[in-house]
Amino acid sequence: MQWRERLSASPLAAGAAALMLTALASGILLALGGYDPPTAARAMLAGALGSADALLSITLVRSVPLILTGLAVALAFRAGLWNIGAEGQLYAGAIAGVWVGLSVDGLSAWIAIPGALLAAAAAGAAWALVPTLMRLHLGVGEVITTILMNFVGIYLAAFMVHGPLQEPRGVFPQTDQIALAARLPPLVPGTRLHVGFALAVALAVTLSVVLRRTRLGFRIRAVGASTEAAVVAGRIDARRVILVSFLASGALAGLAGGVEVAGLTYALYEGLSPGWGYTAIAVALLAGLSPLAVLGTGVLFGALEAGAGAMQREAGIPAVWVVAVQALIILAVLAIDQLRRRRVPTTVGAATPVVGAPTSGGVGV
């Protein structure tokens, strides 16, 4: 059938099909719940894209951490790694970023900003190092370790804002605001959109080039496709590829936390992330694990979050409905991916799967 051939040929077409399935299912569920789907859709579009300020100051701003964590998940999945720990890595990066941001008062922005962001990336990589070493040396699957590290990161952030980094009065569970020199400048004057968005775009382009055009990128994709084949036929050091990929993934997620602190909140507090590290899985899967496509899916999920408030005000639909939509997107992606795999069940490398889930069970060396 032609539609199956198109799905097999293009991850972007598969993603579009998943979005259409999600829209259809969402409309049916809203109607069954007594809501008016067209009214809900208009309210969401108005809240996310209804004005230049809504687009720049809300949608694109909310897309920045989603893009960065989406890139982190996409990179790990392309290497055959189940990094479910972007949430904890984001919090680790936010803690390190705010700590540096509080310590650089009086320094030049050319030193303070890179220092805060590099500290955030390093903290995210360090957070990913624990599950990496446990997989490589103890054979412990990274799914459980990264999930557990999420809880450690979240509660560590809570401890810091109630203890060592709490604002001096001890009234609010948050830190002081970081130094002015450590804050990201606006990308568009008069809006909340900061240069973190440009950084996210640059990293997406860079990661795409690395995966497609470099020897390291080939090794990452080879290990992700089959660790055993990469080791035997390609003579690739799978352990090194896993280490580099996992640490780079953690660094991207940690950078998301640093950018959020340096570009928007200027402080660390409990509940900094509404679950970006988990939403990033949907962002990456819908993008077919393509770094460039993550830019689009990150903005899409940012628009969903931005339009949730308007949908609640104008259509009376709870804002938590957006979480249900995200879950429906994941289910649709999985369904489309199964159709694609049935079309080419034995073909290796014919097309990049939408899900691209890690399939290798071990290091193989």
What is the predicted pLDDT for the residue at 157?
Answer: 96
- Nearest C-alpha neighbor of 43 from the set 283, 306, 301: 306
Domains and CATH numbers, the chain: 2-343 (1.10.3470)
- Nearest C-alpha neighbor of 301 from the set 349, 266, 341, 333: 333
What is the predicted pLDDT for the residue at 39?
Answer: 85
- The β-bridge partners of 18 are none
> What CA–CA distance (Å, rounded) separates 210 from 49?
32
User: Residue ranges of the alpha helices (H) in 261-358?
Assistant: 276-286, 291-315, 321-343
3-state SS assignment for residue 131? helix
Q: How far is CA 42 from CA 6, 32, 76, 229, 297, in A?
A: 30, 18, 36, 50, 20
Mean pLDDT by 10 residues, the chain (365 residues): 46 76 86 84 85 91 97 96 96 97 92 97 97 94 95 96 92 93 95 96 97 94 90 86 97 98 95 92 90 94 86 79 81 78 52 48 40
What is the predicted pLDDT for the residue at 351?
Answer: 39
CB 60 within 8 A of CB 94: no
What is the per-residue DSSP string for 44-69?
A: HHHHHHSSHHIIIIIIHHHHHHHHHH
What is the predicted pLDDT for the residue at 211?
Answer: 95
Q: Where are the beta strands (DSSP E) in 87-232?
A: none
What is the predicted pLDDT for the residue at 91?
Answer: 98
CB 113 within 8 A of CB 106: no
CB 292 within 8 A of CB 208: yes
What is the predicted pLDDT for the residue at 364?
Answer: 38
What is the predicted pLDDT for the residue at 308?
Answer: 83
What is the predicted pLDDT for the residue at 66?
Answer: 97
CB 40 within 8 A of CB 359: no
